[in-house]
Structure 1
């Protein structure tokens, strides 16, 4: 009977295991293998070059600016997304009229197709687009948002922020609704201010959700592609060329597939490091993890 139960268990998880092997483990292994080769699809060559592609990372003059743009985008998006999502969740957790409508409005961009959302914002952010038309009414001469370095990066961050902030808002809202009201009442009786109640009661109890949203947002910010491809194509210059878009350029525009695979390995390491650090540090600040 024990063997039968074990067999039934393995049969239950077999489809999931097969999917992980076929779509995660095998592709990761193939990327590592390709990174050791110089693969020219046009010439039909596939030559083993060892660690030459990894050595080329140190000689790549554009990689520094690419990593800088990636870090700037990731930090800006994560800080703004988590802060705004938590603020909106706290605000919409109040028992006020119309909160359901505002929850729907803030969450609705999440279900909109990413490319469609980005194309619409591309028109709005043009020199003669809707954003500058609105500013012109107020007597402000708006810039060409997507054609100057600083404003282009800020525009991409804001577009992605408005697209996904509703998802984190809903996660925070669910966590806030799970905080026992008795704890807030006890804190009020003890004379705790609203800020003290938030810092001492709310944040510790929703810290598991904060960890989840932080990991998801950081990983998502490091994998951004469609917004860059549609809005700026990495420009002006390389000011918005993040690592994923640079990988795409090397592999599919310049046909350096081996070097593109090497950049994929680099991206995997960059995503893995903060995830592992956050997971290891969770015992120090996540409630119930100490």
Structure 2
């Protein structure tokens, strides 16, 4: 009788997250999959079943092919810069100097700022006559039009996104650094290891679980970026900053082709799932829990 009561209590506690996942996850995904099999345009009131035609259309869409390349470049740059800067800042802030808490707060503060407000500020800074070019002009350098150059526009969006989210990853790395046993580092120093070798062979291996988590979070965040691109470049110039997630928005709300947009969304989901699964399955090769 007691075992049955324990099972009931367990089900009661488990039910909210399970129901939440079903209502907010599985049901919308099922609807998107259903919509992707239709030609749906709310403005003219069409909802016609077309089967896999929308997915066949993907192979002939030049913009989606370009968006795949832009998405790969954006996600790659964001992942490398975010992880590198976050880990560097965490190492610099992993000290007991007076006032270090102030710097930790300053570096983390962009995380709690609205992404829209953050991007609008950067829009003023990156404009042709904005703050960055104003500073460059003071030292005799004529700055470019950052948001109207195909390469610089993409790099600018990456930088804006990096500075927005690097504080969170910095805190994660900082917490991991503070959990590294000091005895291991001291033993390595006694064996003659320098600062770099201690970090490379002692600290870094123990950071790999956090590195895996940060990598997954950063990668999935890079694949669904929206606000910075819409505010800064609107996917331009041309399609140089049109990532897949923003192309879904353009197709759905710009062209009113919700069925085709749903098909693109399914592809984006599969890409995100595949990359996450790849990172997770490869963890046994490089993630270590202890030395």
What TM-score comes out, normalization by structure 2 length?
0.98
**1:46 is the counterpart of 2:26:** no
**Secondary structure of residue in 2 paired with 1:172:** helix
Query: Offset of 1:206 from its aligned partner?
Result: 1.2
Runs of 4+ in structure 1 over 2 Å off: 94-98
Deviation (angstroms), 1:95: 2.7
- Unaligned segments of structure 1, at least 5 residues: none
* Count of equivalent residues: 290
| Residues 34-89 of structure 1: per-residue CA shift (max 9 Å, x gap) | 11110111111111101100000001011111111111110000000000000000
Aligned partners of 1:51 and 1:72: how far apart in 2? Answer: 29
Per-residue CA deviation, residues 121-167 of structure 1 (Å, 9 max, x unaligned), is: 00111011001111111211101110110110111000001100000
1:24 matched residue in structure 2: 25
User: Aligned residue for 2:247?
Assistant: 246
Displacement of 1:13: 1.4
Structure 2 runs not aligned, ≥5 long: none
In the alignment, is the contact (CA less than 8 A) between 1:36 and 1:258 conserved in 2? yes
Counterparts in 2 of 1:202-281, with a 5 A limit?
A: 202-281=203-282
Q: Is the 8 A contact 1:109 1:164 kept in 2?
A: yes
**What SS does structure 1 have at the residue aligned with 2:225?**
coil
Instruction: Decide whether the 8 Å contact of 1:136 with 1:142 is kept in 2.
Output: yes
**Partner-residue secondary structure (3-state), 2:238:** coil
Q: SS of 1:94's equivalent?
A: coil
Per-residue deviation, 1:98: 2.9
1:13 corresponds in structure 2 to 14
Give 1:186 shift. 0.2
Q: Contact between 1:283 and 1:289, CA under 8 Å: does it hold in 2? A: no
Output the aligned Cα RMSD. Answer: 1.1
Alignment of 1:1-290 (within 5 A): 1-288=2-289
Deviations 1:152-197 (A, max 9, x none): 0111000001100000000000000000111111000000111110
Deviation at 1:94, TM superposition (A): 2.3
TM-score of the aligned structures, taking structure 1 as reference length:
0.98
Residues 146 and 152 of structure 1 are in contact (CA less than 8 Å); yes or no, is this contact kept in structure 2?
yes
Shift of 1:15: 1.3
Give secondary structure in 2 for the equivalent of 1:18: helix
| Cα distance in 1, alignment partners of residues 224 and 175 from structure 2 | 26
Q: Distance in 2 between matches of 1:106 and 1:10?
A: 42
